[in-house]
């Protein structure tokens, strides 16, 4: 196994991205294995769409994590006040 591939497999964000790609493929009736049987251009287009889907989902996770950190930081420092 290449070092780059090993690193990707150990990277939590890479694992999550792969899960989102697999989710997208599943929603469209495919798996990582089944797209290999598709014509090259169709498989490429499907992977572009799946990768875009994964990128959007990762951005959502990142945005939510930042919001939680901000809230916890504000609560911890007493900055949050109720109206």
Q: pTM of the prediction?
A: 0.72
Taking alpha carbons only, the member of 58, 45, 53, 46 closest to residue 15 is 58
Taking alpha carbons only, the member of 15, 18, 13 closest to residue 32 is 18
Residue 32 tokens, joined: 């990582």
Residue 46 tokens, joined: 């499907």
Report mean pLDDT in 10-residue bins for the chain, 83 residues: 59 91 97 96 97 97 89 66 50
Q: What pLDDT, on a 0 to 100 scale, did the predictor assign at position 81?
A: 54
Give the angle 17-4-12 at the CA atoms, nearest 5°: 35
Q: What pLDDT, on a 0 to 100 scale, did the predictor assign at position 70?
A: 85
Q: What pLDDT, on a 0 to 100 scale, did the predictor assign at position 11?
A: 84
Taking alpha carbons only, the member of 62, 51, 60 closest to residue 24 is 51
């Amino acid at each position: 196994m290449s070092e780059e591939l090993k690193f990707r497999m150990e990277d939590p964000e890479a694992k999550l991205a792969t899960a989102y790609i697999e989710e997208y493929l599943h929603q469209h009736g495919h798996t990582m294995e089944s797209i290999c049987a598709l014509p090259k251009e169709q498989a490429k287009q499907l992977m572009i769409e799946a990768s875009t889907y994964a990128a959007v989902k990762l951005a959502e996770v990142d945005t939510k994590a930042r919001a939680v950190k901000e809230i916890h930081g504000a609560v911890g420092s007493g900055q949050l006040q109720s109206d």
